[in-house]
Amino acid sequence: MGVKVLIMLSLVSTLILTGCTNSTFNKSMEEGKLALASKEYEKANGLFSLALEEKENSKEAKVLKESTEKLAEINKLDSEGNLVDAIKLCDEIKDLNIENEIILKEVDRKRNELQEKLDKVNDENKDIEKKITKAESLISNKQYEDARKLLNELDGEIKENNNADDLLDRINTLIEACDEKIALSESKKNITSQKAKEILYQKVSVDLDYELLGDLDSNSHIYGESINNFYCFLPSQNGMPLEGEYYVHKVTGKVYEVTSDGSINEI
């Protein structure tokens, strides 16, 4: 076979391969733009990636691929409530000097939509800040229960808003402060162990002696309440220990008897 024939065959093969490459590239770009127009960004991104496999130096394919990636991420951030980062991505797309009108119009529309949502959230946050200030005032006036109720309501509202982490931290800190104050207040209402023993004399028997038991198992419960909320007494008579135990609630003064078989009965 002559040299000229080989050269001709090589040129024909090159033209065929180039034609196939152009055909795949053009088809991928065309279908990618259709997916883009339909806002199927992930599908469009895949098609533009395929186009780049055929022509890795195509500036248009690179820009469209990067844009569709960002558009898909914008929708994801929007659905998660991360409006600030979604708006930043819109601005990043505009900085790519895109010539595709579909993308430019969609980015403008999406950015305006996101900004409206963010403005609304900011207005809601201002209202939340006012309520937090009110809760702080209630705490200053030692109205801990009212403050706790208001803060719980705010906690429920703010968890639906991912753009207010700082406010949520403030709310949680104030709730902890209220819990501590309420717990301290409740502890001051506890009856004394001597008062609990007097209750046993009245409800059980004056003929028995009652020894206060300490170091209770903190994992135990009486009628669903931690055992730490009770005084525990071991009964005896004439110096002889008796079976069973008596528990007196530190706040209500209610008496519970634990029998030898482990059953618990309120007296």
pLDDT in tens, 30-63: 999 999 888 899 999 999 999 999 898 898 899 8
- State yes or no: pLDDT of 219 exceeds 60: yes
The set of residues, in sequence order, having a beta carbon less than 8 Å from that of 174 and lying 6+ positions away, is 132, 135, 136, 139, 147, 151
- State yes or no: pLDDT of 118 exceeds 60: yes
**Which range, of 151-160, 173-182, 193-202, 219-228, averages the lowest pLDDT?**
151-160
Helix (H, G, I), strand (E, B), or coil: what is residue 168?
Answer: helix
- State yes or no: pLDDT of 25 exceeds 50: yes
**Which range, of 108-122, 144-158, 238-252, averages the lowest pLDDT?**
144-158
> Are 221 and 133 contained in the same domain?
no
In order, the DSSP letters of 211-242 are EEE-S--TT-EETTEEGGGEEEEEEEETTEE-
> Are 11 and 26 contained in the same domain?
yes
Domain, as residue range, for 258: 193-266
- For the chain, counts of helices (H) and of strands (E): 8, 8
Domain boundary among 188, 209, 225: 188
Helix (H, G, I), strand (E, B), or coil: what is residue 266?
Answer: strand
CA distance 64 to 76: 18
The mean pLDDT value for 236-241 works out to: 93
Which residue is associated with the tokens 């003929």? 207
Q: For position 14, what pLDDT does the model report?
A: 45
Burial class (CB in 10 A: 0-12, 13-18, 19+), 183: exposed
Which residue is associated with the tokens 């770009």? 29
> Are 7 and 112 contained in the same domain?
yes
Q: What is the pLDDT of residues 128-184, one digit of tens each?
A: 899 999 999 999 998 999 999 999 888 877 765 556 778 888 999 999 999 888 887
Q: For position 230, what pLDDT does the model report?
A: 93
- State yes or no: pLDDT of 92 exceeds 60: yes
> Are 166 and 204 contained in the same domain?
no
233 forms bridges with which residues in the sheet?
A: 212, 246
The mean pLDDT value for 26-33 works out to: 91
The set of residues, in sequence order, having a beta carbon less than 8 Å from that of 147 and lying 6+ positions away, is 135, 136, 138, 139, 174, 178
> Are 51 and 110 contained in the same domain?
yes
Q: For position 113, what pLDDT does the model report?
A: 94
> Are 7 and 114 contained in the same domain?
yes
> Are 53 and 99 contained in the same domain?
yes
Domains contained in the chain, number: 3
> Are 107 and 129 contained in the same domain?
no
Domain boundary among 102, 118, 134: 118
**Mean pLDDT score across all residues of the chain:** 85
Domain boundary among 118, 146, 173: 118
Say if CB 38 and CB 61 are below 8 A apart: no
Higher pLDDT: 134 or 17? It is 134
Strand spans (E) along 38-132:
none
Q: What's the token pair of residue 112?
A: 């305006």
> Are 101 and 131 contained in the same domain?
no
> How much of the chain exceeds pLDDT 70, in percent?
90
